[in-house]
Structure 1
Amino acid sequence: MAEPTKTKYRVGGMDCAACASKIETAVTRIPGVSEAGASFTAGTLTVLHDNVPFTTIQQAIKPLGYALARDGAPAPLDGHDHDHEHDHDHGHEPAGPDEHFALGDGPWWRTPKALLALGAGIAMLAAWLTGLVVPTMSHEAFLLALLVGLIPVSRRAIAGARAGTPFSIETLMTIAAVGAVFIGATEEAAMVVLLFLVGELLEGVAASRARASIKSLADLVPKTAFLVTGETTTEVPAASLALNATIMVRPGDRIPADGIITTGQGAVDQAPVTGESLPASKGPGDTVFAGTINTDAVLTIRVTATASDNTIARIVQLVEEAQESKAPTARFIDRFSRWYTPGVLVAGALVATVPPVLLGQSWDEWIYKGLAILLIGCPCALVISTPAAIAAALSAGARRGLLLKGGAVLESLRTITTVALDKTGTLTEGRPLVTDIHAVARPVAKVLSLAAALETGSSHPLALAILARAKTDKVAIPPAAAARALPGKGLAGTVGGEAVALFSPAAAAEQTTIAPDLQTVIDGFTDAGKTVSIVLVGGEIAGLIAMRDEPRADAKAGIDALKAINIDVIMLTGDNVRTARAIGAELGLEVRAGLLPEDKQATVRALQAEGKIVAKVGDGINDAPALAAADIGIAMGGGTDVALETADAAILHGRVADIAAMIGLSNATMANIGQNIAVSLGLKAVFLVTTIMGITGLWPAILADTGATVLVTLNAMRLLAWRPR
């Protein structure tokens, strides 16, 4: 039996969670479809199917008022399609600007929802003017105004019922409006439908804003690049750049691809991607990201990622995938709403019939109140309360380099009690740096110069550290003759006619005597977790160079931020005990060192057995088992693909402080969701009481529901502006 095909589509006109639910229900009823998942926040539909044609899926959702396009093609905002499109056409014929608008691209006032709301508004104004001029025609005028908006709504209600969603918002609206006409409240029915259409329009605008926040990330990458081929520079589409291609970036231009600088040195403004306030100094060998801005020098760059796999593309893909997965709270509300809406219909029917039948009350009065109950009970605000907040939070996090793979991860982060951190590349820079130069028989600059002369041309991490320090200190590097590696000892050669060697302390001790006071200095460096190299000139000690993989600049502040919110922090590392303890003492955290990958995983499980909720943070292949075992695995963004794939979240820019920021985003999001649920249910409760008491009627009821939906959406959109403290 053939494996099912998984296809992703773009959907136009899907602006709320109820829309997504209707689409899922309709598509899963198609023969050959085994699973369908719609995300209104991402504007996507993912279908698992047995070669079901595109047009079959398209025709299933078109009567509901939604349009469909294959992923990567423009998604129209209305429900029209092209008659000339056939199943064998694997593209999607682009629509003209007056027919379709790519998802999120078209101005909101030209969308079908906006045009329908405008038409209903004009009809309502015309009916009111008619009533003023010809009072006897008022009822008929408002009935026509009602039909302008109600006919499209009722058609969607009927289509939804046929597609498996009988208890939709459109159903409640149709029943309430038709019932209002029968009891003589035609003017109110027309106003209710108009307010409903305006509410739908506002939902669409808000949803487009949420999608635009992610789309703007993709727009950071320029469309063209200057490709260098030999002596020729040609402007080409950025999407066509191949791996290892060489590109030239002028001052002031955005960098079109991830890559490594080969020539040129200058400042690169990384704020669009990393949020850093100051430009970073970049030179040959340094990594640059697509979408960042080259500020002041011509750079040539070797491309290290294609357009579909660069930093920006990976962010967009991770966030869209995250938005497509539902958070636990959202799943609960979805299940609740399936029972809630039929319950509202029953409640409305009871309010309309019980008082007249049992208490002899007026039928018109209580039918009116029952219809108002239907409108009050519309679940839009409640259903949208969680996914809107989750989508906004995921977008806000992504813009600041915090990638979370779904709402469940975002919800769970606030429950973390322990953070277990890898050392190398997570707490530290991941490469050694020269920390100390101790002069003995030669000045500090000379000791560094001689060591750099021997290391020139080497790619060993310690060699790169010495050469980088020589470059930073602007020390002259003389040529070395007959430089050679001595296994188990170090390097030796001739510099300026003198025999020079760069040895380990043990190897140096075989060549000369190390004085006790100098041995004390060496022991101090070693106890601090530093690697010591001794420079010998003519067999005599000229000086010492100490190197260590230093903590990240923000490591201490990041750990302190976690402790400030009562989270325990522990280091799990495969490094030697002495080095790990030295770093741990400097940063003020518990250390467990000398661990193999399975030991890290076992430690995480042991912490969980103690009842702790554990987040594991790492960047290497050896962290993957522990990342998978932890309650939440967090990959540092510069890490391996294995770590990024295994983890639940990623800190793109490697800032330790971003761990606490990620937890802060979780807390802010859950607080926002709580506010949204309180607003949506609170307003319903208030208007339920006032309707039963006869204080409010039909149009205040729908205004309350529309108002609650707009308030909830606007409150969720506040998270787009979230910033870590």
Structure 2
Amino acid sequence: MPDPSVTHHAEKEEAGSCCAGDASCTADPTAAQPQSITDEPVSLLHYRIQGMDCPSCAATIEKSLVKMPGVKTIQLNYNTAKMQVAAGEAVSPALIESQVEKLGFKAESLDRNEKSQTFTIEGMDCGACAATLEKHMKNVPTVEGVRVNFSTGKMQITHDLSVEEIAKEVSNAGFKAILPTGRGNEGPAKKNRDSATTIAGVLLAFGFFGSFSDVSPLLITLLYAASILIGGYKPARSAYYAIRSRSLDMNVLMISAAIGAALIGEWFEGATVVWLFAVGTALQNKSIERTRDSIRGLMNLAPQEAWVKTGQTLSRKPVEAIRVGDIIVIKPGEKIPLDGEIVAGSSTVNQAPITGESLPVDKHVQDVVFAGTVNESGSLEVKVTKLVKDTAIARIIHLVEEAQEQKAPTEAFIDRFAKIYTPIVFVLAIIVMVMPPLLGWGPWGEWLYKGLELLVVACPCALVISTPVAIVSAIGNAARNGILIKGGTFLETAGALQAIAFDKTGTLTEGKSKVSSLYTVHGTEEEWLAVARTIEEHSQHPIASAIVTYASEQGISALEGQDFAAIAGKGAKATISGEEYFAGNPKLFQELKVSLGDMENRIQSLQNEGNTLVVVGTRLKVLGIIAVSDTIRTSTAKALKEMKQVGIEQVVMLTGDNEGTAKKISQEAGVDRFFAELMPEDKVEAVKQLQREGKTVAMVGDGINDAPALATANLGIAMGGAGTDTAMETADIVLMADNLEKLPHTVKLSRKALRIIKQNIWFSLLTKLAALILIFTGDLTLWLAVMSDTGAAVLVILNSMRLLRLKS
């Protein structure tokens, strides 16, 4: 398997390359460029690569790009999905992107962020509208890249135009573009066509009931015609722009059906088609707005203003005007406006909006607080550490929106299917209208009507929307519960997991040493523990800190000491009341030839159980023994039990500790299997072994030390993302809290999302199949065809929205 971080040099490696192919190399990649030979100016291009499933994909990309003329070096890191290319002036960013796309991946330039903007788009009725707009914008000469997502209602575009020019181009495609201010409280405006739909419905009703009275047939026809014109104006406008963009969307099909119905004298059918389509579209939009609101809710968590302390005075300022290093004051009950470090005061803070933790967390001086969390009790003075655009909540929102806009494998497949399905059915509809009458198999009116029904059935709206709405809903639910899922691909993978491997230290355990037991040999516990504290207070070792903390909790004070000295690899010593005392491992006392007596067997047993031992004594005798160990997190056993309840077949622990420690921790945590005495590269091999056994494997770690194993697993899950940028970068799923409580909900949510996606797809396909069959049996009317299409789309959306309500 190729190294996750790949660096390749296109020129001779002797030309200044100190570490070609070495993933750990941190040298400037431009250092290896043979400019002295070519004298060609070299620039660095940076990209984010989407679609890589494993490190082999990284190797595929770099092997292809390194052959391109003008490319000097390539540095591609699978873990972070980022690529750096050093290339000559002849190599444009678009050329690199095109080559990557040919390989089946997507390269997003990170150097053009100043030209990239995200707009909220109004007026899109379904995925086909998004395709129409995307196609139109790609034809604008100065637009370098564009991606439109119907589910989120957003357009990401890289361009050299003004905002007004972009808005005008979007308007030319039949939609409206709004540039958000960044505060997240912008929502789509109320659609003006609600009143048009109502008027069209009233006219349709008058015409329908008038047909049962003595009202003139001409008047009834005029009522139906007026209903078609008023209710069909917006779809007709959208259809016009779709045709201009050479797209075949639902508006084109519906308007074609309505016009066809009018031409063959089926005015009631035509008016009903238009009105039902308008009603169905309105219901779709109202429903999908609720899924978009799941992220807007996150955006509005943090307040827009804060109290800034200058000297002894407080002033109210917008958060955008506050700089790193400013002191802000948060009063009891207020939301924290920016990330920072407490410099005065203590309080309990509700971090649920960021981490999903159910209980408030105690915060004191030097503790970190996050924007969007709630200060529940005391007043706090906080030194700002991040600007508003860089806060944890801002990063979460950005990553969640990116995740919602990435297509899952199922969604990508359905999109490809829909692109083939719609034109085929459209052509088939024309053949049905023309061929049978020409062959004398029936009257023109009958076959024209069947052809119009086929046009309506050609709309794959419910099918196209079946996957993205479910994914948007699931990712939104996860974000509100402190779980960051980086895309539909990872959501689908999480739903298919069979085994989960956990790093031990800091994941299953606290990652902090604690005193687990004491054993007195001579004297009293209080006496020799005071000696231990006196010696260990002068050490920075984590075990020493654990002993000092424990003694302090027991109310035992340090004694007067002198001549403190560390004994390398063994312990420390000090002189107390004229006598020399030692605190160290059993080997130290063996070298001092101090007998451990009856404690030798106990020491061996404690070490086998994974304890680190500190023996306290003099040159003549042992006073006592302290057992220090890493403790299981309080949430671990419960979380792992719930993992099995949601269908995970095997829970595995990976650790560098000895067999005894691993066995003890695995029994306490309730894991099925463990791998002990592992180096970081051995953890990678352990994950591969599980994969060779035919399992889809997730690796759970801290996102830093476990990066190779996270990258190797089918799914990488990092803990404690709220405090570390690295965790957000390296993992596919991030648990924002530093515990495993939300992991079962992640798996449960993913599996339910997969079930709902399958339900939606089957329902959509069966509805279409039933409609197709009913057309040729003569039992389907045009308005029933519309109801089956728009009704199915609404039901699919409502079914997907159940994911928003799934509780953790």
Interval containing the TM-score (normalised by the shorter chain): 0.7 to 0.9
> Matches of 2:733 and 2:801 in 1, distance apart?
22
**2:740 maps to which of 656, 677, 684:** 656
Worse-matched range after superposition: 314-323 or 558-567: 558-567
Contact 1:494–1:500 under 8 Å retained in 2: yes
- Tell me by how many angstroms 1:646 deviates: 2.3
Instruction: Please name the residue that 2:121 is paired with.
Output: 12
What stretches of structure 1 move > 6 A for 4+ residues in a row?
128-133, 494-499
1:677-716 equivalences under 5 Å are 677-716=761-800
Letter matched to residue 323 of structure 1: Q
CA RMSD of aligned residues (A): 3.3
**Which of 378, 389, 396 is 1:315 aligned to?**
396
Write the deviation string for residues 78-121 of structure 1: whole angstroms up to 9, x where unpaired: xxxxxxxxxxxxxxxxxxxxxxxx64264xxx323434434534
How many angstroms does 1:547 deviate by? Answer: 2.0
Distance of 2:350 and 2:579 partners within structure 1: 45
Q: Distance in 2 between matches of 1:515 and 1:12?
A: 77
What is aligned with 1:156?
238
1:138 shift after superposition: 1.8
Alignment of 1:6-405 (within 5 A): 7-13=116-122, 14=124, 16-48=126-158, 51=160, 54-70=163-179, 72=181, 103-104=186-187, 106=189, 110-121=190-201, 123-124=203-204, 135=216, 136-165=218-247, 167-243=248-324, 245-405=326-486
Does the 8 A contact of 2:121 with 2:155 survive in 1?
Answer: no
Shift in CA distance, 457/484, structure 1 to aligned 2, threshold 3 Å: closer
How far the C-alpha of 1:604 sits from its partner, in A, is 3.1
Does the CA contact (< 8 Å) of 1:620 and 1:642 recur in 2? yes
Is 1:591 equivalent to 2:701 in the alignment?
A: no
Query: Structure 2 vs 1, CA of residues 42 and 574 (structure 1 numbering), >3 Å: closer, same or farther?
Result: farther
Three-state SS of the structure 1 residue aligned to 2:668 is helix
Distance in 2 between residues matched to 1:548 and 1:334, nearest whole Å = 54
User: Structure 1, residues 401-427: CA drift from partner, whole Å, max 9, x if none?
Assistant: 222211111112233333222222222
| Paired AA for residue 666 in structure 1 | S
Deviation, 1:48, is: 4.6
In the TM superposition, residue 320 of structure 1 has moved relative to its aligned partner by 0.8
Q: Partner amino acid for 2:707?
A: A
Choose 118-127 or 617-626, whichever is displaced more. 118-127
Q: How far is 1:41 from its partner? A: 2.4
Which residue is 1:552 aligned to? 633
Instruction: Decide whether aligned partners of structure 1 residues 535 and 254 sit closer, same or farther in structure 2, where only a CA change above 3 A counts.
Output: farther
C-alpha distance in 1, partners of 2:336/2:719?
23
Please identify, of 321-330 and 52-61, the stretch whose mean Cα deviation from structure 2 is larger: 52-61
Matched-pair contact (CA < 8 Å) for 2:319–2:338: yes
Q: Could you tell me which amino acid in structure 2 is paired with residue 217 of structure 1?
A: L
Output the amino acid matched with 1:684: K
- Structure 1 equivalent of residue 698 of structure 2: 615
Return the alpha-carbon distance in structure 1 between the equivalents of residues 307 and 539 of structure 2. 32
The normalised TM-score by structure 1 is 0.86
Question: How many pairs does the alignment contain?
Answer: 692
Name whichever of 416-425 and 222-231 sits farther off. Answer: 222-231
State whether residues 503 and 536 of structure 1, in contact with CA within 8 Å, keep that contact through their aligned partners in structure 2: no
* Separation (CA, whole Å) in 1 of partners of 2:410 and 2:514: 47
Q: What amino acid is aligned across from residue 160 of structure 1 in structure 2?
A: A
SS of 1:656's equivalent?
coil
Q: Distance in 1 between matches of 2:618 and 2:594?
A: 14
Q: Is the 8 A contact 2:530 2:559 kept in 1?
A: no
Is 1:431 equivalent to 2:512 in the alignment? yes
1:571 lines up with 2:653 in the alignment: yes
1:626 aligns with 2:709: yes
Structural mapping, 1:439-478, within 5 Å = 439-441=520-522, 443-444=524-525, 448=529, 450-452=531-533, 454-456=535-537, 460-470=541-551, 473=553, 475-478=555-558
The range that moved more, 242-251 or 139-148, is: 242-251
How far 1:694 sits from its partner (Å)?
3.5
Q: How far does residue 713 in structure 1 lie from its aligned partner after superposition?
A: 0.4
Q: CA deviation at 1:400?
A: 1.7
Q: Sequence identity of aligned pairs in percent?
A: 38
Is the CA contact (8 Å cut-off) linking 2:596 and 2:622 kept in structure 1?
A: no
Q: CA deviation at 1:287?
A: 4.1
Distance 2:789 2:706 in 1: 49
Q: CA deviation at 1:52?
A: 5.2
One-letter identity of the residue aligned with 1:608: Q
Q: Which amino acid aligns with 1:718?
A: R
Provide the TM-score with structure 2 as the length reference.
0.78
Distance 1:460 1:234 in 2: 44
Distance 2:754 2:151 in 1: 17
Q: Identify if the C-alpha distance between structure 1 residues 468 and 273 changes in structure 2 by more than 3 Å, giving closer, same or farther.
A: farther
Residue 805 of structure 2 is aligned to residue 721 of structure 1 = yes
In 2: Cα distance, 1:474 partner to 1:721 partner:
47
Aligned partner of 1:685: which letter?
Answer: L
Supply the distance in 1 between the matched residues of 2:206 and 2:564 (Cα, whole angstroms).
94
**One-letter code aligned to 1:517:** D
Specify the SS of the correspondent of 1:635. strand
What residue ranges of structure 1 are gaps of 5+ in the alignment?
Answer: 76-101
Letter of the structure 1 residue corresponding to residue 788 of structure 2: A
1:13-65 Cα offsets, whole Å, 9 max, x none, are 2353222222222222223545422222233222355x355555433332333
Kept in 2: contact 1:500–1:535 (CA 8 A): yes
Does the 8 Å contact 2:349/2:376 carry over to 1?
Answer: yes
* 2:474–2:803 contact (8 Å) kept in structure 1: yes
Q: Take 1:73 and 1:261, find their aligned partners in 2: how far apart are those partners?
A: 26
Report the secondary structure of 2:332's partner residue: coil
Cα distance, 1:282–1:324 mapped onto 2, change above 3 Å: same
Deviation at 1:363, TM superposition (A): 2.8
Contact 1:529 1:548 in 2 (8 A): yes
Does the residue aligned with 2:510 lie in a helix, a strand or coil?
coil
